[in-house]
Structure 1
């Protein structure tokens, strides 16, 4: 699929009303450009019953009419009649004639390696390999590779359609892996700025995670409901795990996370109240658990990538981990609070006061007054919650000019940066003192245009802000003086990812 995402988004928004409420025509006119002609996903997710189990009846109709918070889903209430919306919602809950088979053999059949790629013995450029940025440009499906010292674009490569979730780097920082919403995983060598290859690991996918040893890449899938594990060396398929709860209920995977000290991947399940921990190390630490989790599933020691299940009080699909990966903070996009789960004992140990739909996946930590605190933005309310990581109590709620999506900081800066991604003040970037927890400056890089997603260079000297527009830019700020240094034109840049910060698990960035 090669449609330009901006063109398709405009079609989604501007397609005119129809005279007859024919569901296939409604879908083809308004939704196919974003969600695929076959409903299996494109720029947007798959629109089939398996992906819409929690949006039934009037809930789905409301999403069609009003859009969806924290996504790029536009509202169609002024373009479609109530009757058309009801017809379309019913159609989306109709099963496909057949669910595509996406097993190990099918995935392997999609693997394409670049015949022109030859692995160099050393970097083929003069930049610091640890201070490179990978910038995802969603406007025309490219990544730009940026020299973090000179702040210059070194290369620009085409990616699969609609890259989603943060790219992941190999532990040595040489390779970067990006994933698209329709399940394509692309491997790029940052030494030579060349694509190594790509493979379609799922039909509709959420994100990827890299193992501590760099051997395995886990891909979280909505469709089919699986976890795909790839060998990073040649992108071959190591394992495809079907995901189902203890009662047999099949589940999508909201996200997969790496837990390096535990030599495991941690899975958030979308449809059942469980966390899965999938081990890739030589000796899965089942003997260290309070319970023998081998009795709770096919977890024999001889099985590749054995699974441990942790039962939750409710479904959680947004996570944040402590720096030592002993604790995971979880929240539901539909809920008003959160839970703290101790991964060692496998139980919930605390409740969190987190109203306003917290976005834990963008949380960060730092040391304040001798104690580690964590901050998270909220997708529905204009606040940032600061949590004490020992008592799990709210230290402060910082008021902002609107709901935000991303927080970022760095060990070498006294500030955290918070965007206001939603609403009329989407052009705002707050700079907050990490000790006083007060806003010290409010930046407006481009009045009336969305400013989002800060990332720092490896030394914390520069803060890079995305002007999240089709004719956008990466705006470079001096992190100490808060003055603009440079603007690099980009095509709707979303995330920017610094090699050093990511592979060293900087507390100031998401993992």
Structure 2
């Protein structure tokens, strides 16, 4: 019998009083948790148990997981083995920083890599009949799985387990064959959608924010909170190429809020949490310019306005800390939300100059922003995390065009170039079961839907042609609801386990203007 099972059996026979009296929280962790979560709390079969990795769990939720376990996972319940005092002490202890700051260096990254199917070893033909460019990958965060849906008939093709707590949307190679997932505790997983197999994995850090994939599908960049780093990988088998310690010229280090691929520039753009800088890192360019697809500006030939060599950092000073980003379609300008959420600024990435300030109160969620053509000009719109409103900005002069009052602060906003509507949830607050539909021509809310009263409605994503809008019921007994994108009538409801996001291959690889990138 495994050691952890013997320990659990011994404690069950001894009862909770003996367990409480025998050990402090560090000893309890060593006995009950280390076998799965690692002696240093860095993770193993289970996720890392560090303050940053547990930020989405409240103290009470942490205690509940220890006491009751997690359904559909290997996390057992310890309520019969440990008393309330021991559970409280253990929950408090794992939420505190370890005595020795953890490290994760190149040697650790290399040692973590596994490649069950090396690049080129699997067939190049899909094992299903669906359009591979109209697939949806649905992240089901309730039991840490993902489902692959046919975007034409909305039948589930496959369902498979993922790493714990995926963070940031999955990213695709430009041909749509491979999808990359990033987990909160630093794992990057490469999944072959043609063969429905995990083909490579590697751990980039201990607390990772998100990943980005270059426009040619050859490189992956990971953004870390812990350690303070960016990590570059060859996308084929996730071979680590380079670790970038993130610090300024004086040695002051910073967490990385996020990293983005900027295809028209041929570079990665990184948002830094603790430095007044934006970093741009170019990837190698083809000898001939590539014409962009979808609604990106063309041509794709990089126009950095500088001569930074491939994979070297170009530091762009900015007047404030920028935690959240949005880009114009040509990726000439980055729109950043300043720390504190009161306003934003527009930075010209070629010159590095601030060209405008945006009057955006209430923590604008720029990462959920979208754009569309309105009366001959391009506008951008985004919800606010602490204000019941959607702001619409005229991108020709960066003026505030319209503010739409909503039923609550929102998190996600989505549309499609071929749809007359933009959808926005009211994720925060008492009306989180509602979603607003905005007419992009009149800039008015024309419909408010309540697909599941009392349950959070969020994250709309369109199919390839913009004919259907898929919405998540964000609940353990949730669903993906399929709407006719023109009539707004419900067409189908697919039961899912807390479907936190849905990502269409075509829209993501063609940089459709109505979805996040």
Do Structure 1 and Structure 2 share a fold, with TM-score over 0.5?
yes
After TM superposition, give the deviation of residue 285 of structure 1 in Å. 7.3
Could you say which residue in structure 2 is the equivalent of 1:113?
115
Rate the CA distance shift 1:45–1:171 in 2: closer, same or farther, 3 A.
Answer: farther
Could you say which residue in structure 1 is the equivalent of 2:501?
495
How do 1:141-156 and structure 2 match up within 5 A?
A: 141-156=144-159
Q: Distance in 2 between matches of 1:471 and 1:260?
A: 38
- Structure 1 gaps of 5+ residues are 1-18, 52-63, 65-70, 80-84, 293-298
Q: Distance in 2 between matches of 1:348 and 1:488?
A: 46
Match of residue 463, structure 2, among 449, 457, 464: 457
Rate the CA distance shift 1:98–1:384 in 2: closer, same or farther, 3 A.
Answer: closer
Query: What's the secondary structure of 1:357's corresponding residue?
Result: coil
Match of residue 215, structure 1, among 200, 213, 218: 218
Match of residue 351, structure 1, among 354, 357, 360: 357
Could you say which residue in structure 2 is the equivalent of 1:280?
283
Query: What's the secondary structure of 1:244's corresponding residue?
Result: coil
Rate the CA distance shift 1:338–1:499 in 2: closer, same or farther, 3 A.
Answer: same
Q: Distance in 2 between matches of 1:447 and 1:119?
A: 45
Q: Distance in 2 between matches of 1:159 and 1:94?
A: 26
Q: Distance in 2 between matches of 1:367 and 1:412?
A: 11
Match of residue 204, structure 1, among 198, 207, 210: 207
After TM superposition, give the deviation of residue 495 of structure 1 in Å. 0.8
Could you say which residue in structure 1 is the equivalent of 2:290?
none
What is the TM-score of this pair, normalised by structure 2?
0.81
Q: Are the aligned partners of 1:23 and 1:91 in contact in 2 as well (CA < 8 Å)?
A: no
How do 1:320-399 and structure 2 match up within 5 A?
A: 320-399=326-405
Query: What's the secondary structure of 2:386's corresponding residue?
Result: coil
Match of residue 131, structure 2, among 128, 133, 144: 128
Q: Distance in 1 between matches of 2:144 and 2:456?
A: 19
Q: Distance in 2 between matches of 1:123 and 1:184?
A: 26
1:47 has 2:51 as partner: yes
- Structure 2 gaps of 5+ residues are 1-19, 64-87, 287-300
How do 1:249-328 and structure 2 match up within 5 A?
A: 249-282=252-285, 288-289=305-306, 301=309, 305-328=311-334
- Cα deviations across residues 159-203 of structure 1 (Å, max 9, x unaligned)? 111111000000111110001001111111111111112111111
Q: Are the aligned partners of 1:177 and 1:188 in contact in 2 as well (CA < 8 Å)?
A: yes
Q: Distance in 2 between matches of 1:379 and 1:26?
A: 40
Match of residue 167, structure 2, among 144, 164, 170: 164
Could you say which residue in structure 1 is the equivalent of 2:17?
none
Rate the CA distance shift 1:441–1:306 in 2: closer, same or farther, 3 A.
Answer: same
Q: Distance in 2 between matches of 1:481 and 1:287?
A: 43
Could you say which residue in structure 2 is the equivalent of 1:419?
425
Q: Distance in 2 between matches of 1:258 and 1:315?
A: 20
Q: Are the aligned partners of 2:261 and 2:268 in contact in 1 as well (CA < 8 Å)?
A: yes
Rate the CA distance shift 1:90–1:173 in 2: closer, same or farther, 3 A.
Answer: closer
Match of residue 415, structure 2, among 398, 409, 418: 409
Query: What's the secondary structure of 2:51's corresponding residue?
Result: coil
Q: Are the aligned partners of 1:45 and 1:181 in contact in 2 as well (CA < 8 Å)?
A: no
Q: Are the aligned partners of 2:304 and 2:349 in contact in 1 as well (CA < 8 Å)?
A: no
Rate the CA distance shift 1:437–1:110 in 2: closer, same or farther, 3 A.
Answer: same
Q: Who wins on radius of gyration, i.e. which is larger?
A: 2
1:140 has 2:143 as partner: yes
Q: Distance in 2 between matches of 1:395 and 1:196?
A: 47
After TM superposition, give the deviation of residue 488 of structure 1 in Å. 0.7
Q: Are the aligned partners of 1:333 and 1:358 in contact in 2 as well (CA < 8 Å)?
A: no
Aligned length: 454
After TM superposition, give the deviation of residue 247 of structure 1 in Å. 2.2
After TM superposition, give the deviation of residue 94 of structure 1 in Å. 5.5
RMSD: 3.3
Q: Distance in 2 between matches of 1:395 and 1:204?
A: 38
What is the TM-score of this pair, normalised by structure 1?
0.82
Q: Are the aligned partners of 2:48 and 2:206 in contact in 1 as well (CA < 8 Å)?
A: no
- Cα deviations across residues 82-133 of structure 1 (Å, max 9, x unaligned)? xxx9xx9999676632422x22221111111225994112122110011000
Q: Distance in 2 between matches of 1:27 and 1:437?
A: 57
- Cα deviations across residues 116-152 of structure 1 (Å, max 9, x unaligned)? 9941121221100110000001011111000000111
- Cα deviations across residues 244-290 of structure 1 (Å, max 9, x unaligned)? 0132101111000010011100000011110000111249979834x
Match of residue 485, structure 2, among 472, 475, 479: 479
Rate the CA distance shift 1:508–1:115 in 2: closer, same or farther, 3 A.
Answer: closer
Query: What's the secondary structure of 1:422's corresponding residue?
Result: coil
After TM superposition, give the deviation of residue 239 of structure 1 in Å. 1.1
Q: Are the aligned partners of 1:40 and 1:204 in contact in 2 as well (CA < 8 Å)?
A: no
